[in-house]
Amino acid sequence: MTPKMLDRMRESCQLAARCLVMVGEHIRPGISTEAINTLVHQFCVDHDAYPAPLDYKGFPKSVCTSVNECICHGIPDEGTVLKDGDIINVDVTTYFPNQPRKGFHGDTSVTFYVGEPSEEAKKVVETARQALEIGIEQVKHGARIWDIGAAIQEYAESQGCSVVRDYVGHGVGKEFHMEPQIPHYLPQKKAGLFEGLKNRRMKEGMVFTIEPMINLGTHETELQDDDWTVLTADRKLSAQFEHSIAVTRTGAEVLTRRPAIVKGSEDLPWSEVGPLSAPAAHAARQGDDASSG
């Protein structure tokens, strides 16, 4: 992307980031995923944006809401009501349909805790949060695209978790999903993405998502009959965080970095937030550390 295009991307991405901060104000036991859908839809419309999931390849709602063993692409509905101990990923994608900001997608997601989490929930959510941060640390002009997945896989598996292979990160911008694909694992020789990514390097101005889906048990997925909802094959927990990222000469610009602390995810004592993903929450933590000596 040119500097002008990047300016427009920043606007779309920052709106998506603000939307997640807003969602965090509402996550609690008793709220339905349909109500979250309404909040996200209204937020987009109120800010002259279009919620990109709506009607995308037939997706019926304005946001993806993926609860517990749902890996991704959960469809909001009245019947899914959050309860104490649940985890939920909310995946927001904004698009500006009108000038002067016309034409760019911002794609980002967070996993929230609903009430008091189990130790297992903390494990998978915090591993996913850290996996994204480690992926971002690999981004730099000239680095190999698959360094991202290699670092994420090594970390996640060292924590006893697994990395989903059936869904990957992607180029993002004028289109919701475009080249290149960004696996969160190291592709093996002669399999899947190996040939396509062999020798592919990051370039300044490239924009893509990193969005590791991390499972407590098997990495295997199971697509449901609605053709969207993806569950873990063993029905154990799954968590995900996503950012839209621009490659720079010296590293990464996290376009969807959070302008404020995300309640229900980044404000909890056990969450470790990265400086690139969540500068507001990170600065607050540093301040806490300093004042507590």
Give the binding site for Co ion (CB under 5 A): 91, 107, 209, 242
Which of the listed partners (Co ion, ligand MF3, none) does 53 bind, with a CB threshold of 5 to 8 Å by partner kind? ligand MF3
Q: Which is nearer to ligand MF3, 229 or 248 (CB)?
A: 229
Which of the choices Co ion, ligand MF3, none does residue 266 contact, using the CB cut-off of 5 to 8 A by kind?
none
Residue with the closest Cβ to ligand MF3?
A: 53
User: Min. distance of Cβ 242 from Co ion in angstroms?
Assistant: 5
Whether omega before 97 lies within 30 degrees of 0, making that bond cis, reads no
Q: By CB under 6 A, is residue 211 in contact with ligand MF3? A: yes
Cβ neighbours of residue 22 under 8 Å, at least 6 residues apart? 39, 43
d(CA 107, CA 209) in angstroms, rounded, equals 7
Q: Please state the separation of Cα 160 from the chain's center in Å.
A: 21
In the complex, the smallest distance separating the C-beta of residue 36 from ligand MF3, rounded to whole angstroms, is 14
Is residue 56 part of the contact set for ligand MF3 (CB under 6 A)?
Answer: yes
Site for ligand MF3 in 71-110 (CB under 6 A): 73, 91, 93, 107
The binder of ligand MF3 chosen from 5, 22, 59, 141 (CB under 6 A): 59
Q: 174 is written with which tokens?
A: 């004028």
Number of Cβ within 10 Å of residue 123's Cβ equals 18
What is the per-residue DSSP string for 210-262?
E--EEESS---EEE-TTSS-EEETT---EEE-BEEEEE-SSSEEETT--SS--
Instruction: Name the residue nearer to Co ion (CB basis): 1 or 81.
Output: 1
Peptide bond into 187 cis (omega under 30): no
Q: How far is the CB of 212 from ligand MF3 (least distance, A)?
A: 11
Which of the stretches 57-65, 128-136, 151-159, 229-237 binds ligand MF3 when contact is defined by CB under 6 A? Answer: 57-65
Q: Which residues bind ligand MF3 (CB under 6 A)?
A: 53, 56-57, 59, 64, 73, 91, 93, 107, 209, 211, 242
